[in-house]
């Protein structure tokens, strides 16, 4: 055998164990709060992505299965602007949003509009195709490596009452909250928001009332694409940049259904509920059922909610009369 022991390298000894005085030592209540906080953080990301689904469904009745891919593309565009043109994070982020808006218009105009009036199933299949197309295009341009996202957030955690949160996580939660309030006000008070709701309620009547349904469709794609980019940039900052991050789109689907697929409040709350359930179940039940309980718990909650409220927590009830 040719492999000789390498004695020239000193054997480092790492202090075994050492002092382990951490947040987790003192109170079991703290563990509960830390788990809750983690649930809120991941729930905010779920909520941001779920919001994209809702914005499109609300106005156009289409479930957009390319939502995860739009999110991934946004993150890659931001990464590209930052690394290639050395643009600082914030302007790069704004350019990304602009790009997403244009992309939203193009997708609606070129791909979705010709499908207007076609069977819903066909339209959904088109979005599935769009997902594959976007994922492959991103792979062609940037490859399938895993990248560290060049976000300006510090790795040092902020500590409040013994709980830890990273600056990027705090920003994500605040952004999700801000967007929720913004969209809530938008749909409640602005003319455009009301027009969108009217279109969602009944396209024909909205059209007869002088609302440009086409414009509304474009707008919903712009908003959804923008929200997706925001979610993508934050998700990439928290974890890393990779084409497979788009799969979270499907993972978030239970959150969308849970909250009700046509409700903004439902999207955010659905995301939060799924995030919280996953973390609390992972923290307290994995001892008895194994770690897999973390992923299962969301579907369990979904099952119960749909048994009681078939249209989701905040979904619009549709009664079919024959």
Residues that bind another protein (CB under 8 A): 1-7, 9-20, 22-24, 31, 34-35, 38, 41-42, 45, 139, 143-146, 148, 155, 157, 164-166, 235, 238-240, 242-245, 247-248, 251, 275, 278-283, 286-287, 290-292, 294-295
Backbone φ and ψ for 153, nearest 5 degrees, come out as: -80, 145
**Least CB distance from residue 50 to another protein, whole Å?**
14
Query: CA torsion angle for 171, 67, 187, 226 (degrees, to 10)?
Result: 60
**Least CB distance from residue 223 to another protein, whole Å?**
24
Kindly tell me the number of DSSP H helices and DSSP E strands found in the chain: 13, 2
DSSP letter string over 162-176? TEEE-HHHHHHHHHH
Contact status, residue 139 vs residue 260, Cβ threshold 8 Å: no
| Dist. CA 105–CA 49, nearest whole Å | 19
CB-nearer residue toward another protein: 32 or 106: 32
Element (H, E) at 112: none
**Least CB distance from residue 52 to another protein, whole Å?**
16
Half-sphere CA count of 43, side-chain side, radius 13 A: 25
Contact status, residue 196 vs residue 57, Cβ threshold 8 Å: no
**Least CB distance from residue 190 to another protein, whole Å?**
33
Query: CA torsion angle for 41, 45, 48, 49 (degrees, to 10)?
Result: -160
Query: CA torsion angle for 247, 251, 253, 258 (degrees, to 10)?
Result: -170
Contact status, residue 206 vs residue 58, Cβ threshold 8 Å: no
3 state SS for 226-263: HHHHHHHHHHHHHCCECHHHHHHHHHCHHHHHHHCCCC
CB-nearer residue toward another protein: 201 or 299: 299
CB-nearer residue toward another protein: 5 or 210: 5
**Least CB distance from residue 103 to another protein, whole Å?**
22
CB-nearer residue toward another protein: 203 or 297: 297
**Least CB distance from residue 282 to another protein, whole Å?**
3
Q: What SS3 state is found at 225?
A: helix
**Least CB distance from residue 7 to another protein, whole Å?**
7
What is the Cα gyration radius of the chain?
22
CB-nearer residue toward another protein: 267 or 281: 281
């Amino acid at each position: 055998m040719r492999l000789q022991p390498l004695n020239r390298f000193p054997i480092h000894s790492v202090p075994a164990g050492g002092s382990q005085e951490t947040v987790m030592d003192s109170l079991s209540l703290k563990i509960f709060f830390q788990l809750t906080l983690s649930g809120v953080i991941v729930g905010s990301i779920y909520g941001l992505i779920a919001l994209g689904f809702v914005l499109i469904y609300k106005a156009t009745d289409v479930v957009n299965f390319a939502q995860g891919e739009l999110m991934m593309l946004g993150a890659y565009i931001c990464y590209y602007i930052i690394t290639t043109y050395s643009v600082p994070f914030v302007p790069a982020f704004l350019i990304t949003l602009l790009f997403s808006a244009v992309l939203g218009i193009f997708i609606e105009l070129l791909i979705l509009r010709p499908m207007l009036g076609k069977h819903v199933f066909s339209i959904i299949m088109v979005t599935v195709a769009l997902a594959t197309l976007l994922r492959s295009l991103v792979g062609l341009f940037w490859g399938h490596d895993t990248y560290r996202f060049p976000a300006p957030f510090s790795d040092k955690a902020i500590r409040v009452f013994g709980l830890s949160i990273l600056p990027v996580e705090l920003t994500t939660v605040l952004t999700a909250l801000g967007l929720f309030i913004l969209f809530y006000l938008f749909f409640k008070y602005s003319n455009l928001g009301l027009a969108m709701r009217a279109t969602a309620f009944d396209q024909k009547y909205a059209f007869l009332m002088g609302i440009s349904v086409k414009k509304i469709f474009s707008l919903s794609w712009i908003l959804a694409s923008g929200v997706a980019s925001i979610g993508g940039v934050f998700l990439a900052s928290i974890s890393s940049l990779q084409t497979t991050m788009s799969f979270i789109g499907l993972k978030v689907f239970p959150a969308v259904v849970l909250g009700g697929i046509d409700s903004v409040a439902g999207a955010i709350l659905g995301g939060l509920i799924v995030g919280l359930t996953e973390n609390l179940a992972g923290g307290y039940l994995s001892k008895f059922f194994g770690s897999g309980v973390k992923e299962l718990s969301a579907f369990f909650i979904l099952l119960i909610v749909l048994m009681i409220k078939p249209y989701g927590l905040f979904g619009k009830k549709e009664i079919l009369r024959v």
